[in-house]
Amino acid sequence: MLSPSAIEDEQGLAVLALRTPTLPPATATNTSFVGRRDVWVVDPATPFDAPRDQLLSAVRALPATGRRAVGIVLTHHHGDHMGAAAWLREAAGLPVYAHPRTAELLGSMLRVDETLEEGAELRGSEADDDRWAVLHTPGHASGHIVLWEAERRRMIAGDMVAGIGTILVEAPDGHMATYIAQLERLADLGPERLVPAHGPVLADGQAKLRETAAHRLMREQRVVEALEEGPGDLVQLTARSYPELARPMLPLAARSCLAHLQKLCEEGRARLSGEVYEPS
């Protein structure tokens, strides 16, 4: 059905890794084809001509195998998830689906035709293992959704976990406490096969979700320890909590550090006076 570079699954799930300008070291976004007969194209994002041709060929090849594309689904509003949505809507005549919050954040950048909220279901066919539940999973992005197929325990996880690189949680749209709670909720479902937005498809999704939550809590502990060394502003606390990082990486780490500090303040474990954080 798809090109030789696609990751194939006979059971109505195929993944194309298409080049995007995303957060290094990742260099591509996974565009998933979900459904055995009616196919949902999740996160078409590439702005480049050659991978766009590949994507459109894959969509156009569906009818030859008794399938058809029925819609574009966006996991969230970030550019490396929606960069080909308007183009594919035009080229293939497909409506764009996303969470109402994503529609709001996209505003005039991209029109969302249909909204998807927690509890909605996308059907690929009448088969029991072709029902994809929509889960609203804010934290990385406030309108983030995940698709969950409970029979075969498959999950399209978007940017909840990274198969390669790391997931940035950035205030104000990102929220660390919410993100960690949603990771735990998804892990509790017990997913097996999991498609992250970046990197290879994972066989043990539950382990990856738990590992990602544990990693965030380990990072949080480092920020707690940095605070215990004494009050400091964001730059100082970032340098203390990420001593292993090269200087050019520190601004990125500061965004993550800020999300952790915000969580600690909300929990009454830190407080901010002026620009200086201190333990409380």
* Residues lying near Zn ion in the complex (CB under 5 A): 78, 159
- The residue assigned the tokens 């459109």 is 56
Q: Residue 21 has which token pair?
A: 């300008």
Residues 237 and 261 sit within 8 Å (Cβ to Cβ): yes
* C-beta closer to Zn ion: residue 102 or 262: 102
Structural element, H or E, at residue 183: helix 176-188
Q: In what order do the strands lie in the sheet with 38-42?
A: 13-19, 28-34, 38-42, 68-73, 96-98, 114-115
Least Å from the CB of residue 192 to Zn ion: 23
Nearer to Zn ion, 159 or 220 (CB): 159
Cβ proximity to Zn ion, 240 vs 260, nearer residue: 260
Question: Measured at the alpha carbon of residue 83, what is the angle toward residues 79 and 85, in degrees to the nearest 5?
Answer: 125
| Minimum separation from the CB atom of position 176 to Zn ion (A) | 15
Give me 206's structure tokens.
């539950």
38 vs 159, which CB is nearer to Zn ion?
Answer: 159
Task: Give the nearer residue to Zn ion in terms of CB position, either 78 or 263.
Answer: 78
Q: What is the rounded CA–CA span in Å between residue 269 and residue 88?
A: 47
Phi and psi at 173, nearest 5°, equal: -75, -35
Among the listed residues 257, 99, 238, the one whose alpha carbon sits nearest the alpha carbon of residue 170: 257
Nearest to 92 by CA among 121, 69, 124: 69
Cα 29 to Cα 76: distance, rounded to the nearest angstrom: 13
Provide the minimum distance between the beta carbon of 179 and Zn ion in the complex, in angstroms, as a whole number: 11
Nearest approach in angstroms of CB 75 to Zn ion is: 8
Q: Which is nearer to Zn ion, 29 or 62 (CB)?
A: 29
CB nearer to Zn ion: pick between 70 and 182: 182
Find the shortest distance in angstroms from Cβ 36 to Zn ion. Answer: 28
The total number of residues shown for the chain amounts to: 280
The minimum distance between CB 26 and Zn ion, in angstroms, equals 11
- Look up residue 248 and give its two tokens: 């050019």
Check residue 10 and report its DSSP letter. T
Residue 76 Cβ vs Zn ion, minimum distance, rounded to whole Å: 6
Q: Which is nearer to Zn ion, 78 or 175 (CB)?
A: 78
Burial class (CB in 10 A: 0-12, 13-18, 19+), 246: exposed
Smallest distance from Zn ion to CB 106, Å: 13
